[in-house]
Structure 1
Amino acid sequence: MRYSSQVKPISYLKSHGAKMLEKLARQREPVVITQNGKAKAVIQDVASYEETQDTLALLKILALGNQEIEAGQVKPVAEVVARLRATTR
């Protein structure tokens, strides 16, 4: 998807707000809002926003895990499993 096809001036948002929200929910494509010819904001439907936030959270967890691996902060799987089994008894 090309964002250039989803660019609207702020005046369009003001006069067609409800129509835009309906289209956002249906098509799930973000819209770039311009003011005085310059991009000022991006709006998107809530479901897409939540998916983006979930994806970012997972990527952050992976990045933190990679940092721990590089720092040598790892334990053998057998040791971790043994500790988990010991705490559930």
Structure 2
Amino acid sequence: MLQGYYAIPDELIMARLHSLFEKSAKRWYYGIGETNGKNTWSLWKQEIITKWDNDSWRYKIENAFKNCFFDPEKDKPLTWFLKLVERLNAL
């Protein structure tokens, strides 16, 4: 997307790519980097599509969203709401 719409060079995309990932996704990112060494944007794009653009991942996120109920005894409203927003944005 960035490359097509904004003509951003691969080097700039690659320099910022690590900042897009958090938690387990960041571990996945660094694991792929250690395994394959320095990669191009086209390789990363394919790896991201393979990892997250599949039915099982989408099913997992949808189920997590459907099964997430607010419990006033254990959840803070803002934290619970932001978690739901993250899940919706992921889909």
Q: TM-score range by the shorter chain?
A: under 0.3
Which structure shows the higher helix fraction?
A: 2
Say which structure is richer in strand. Answer: 1
TM-score (norm 1): 0.27
- The higher radius of gyration belongs to 1
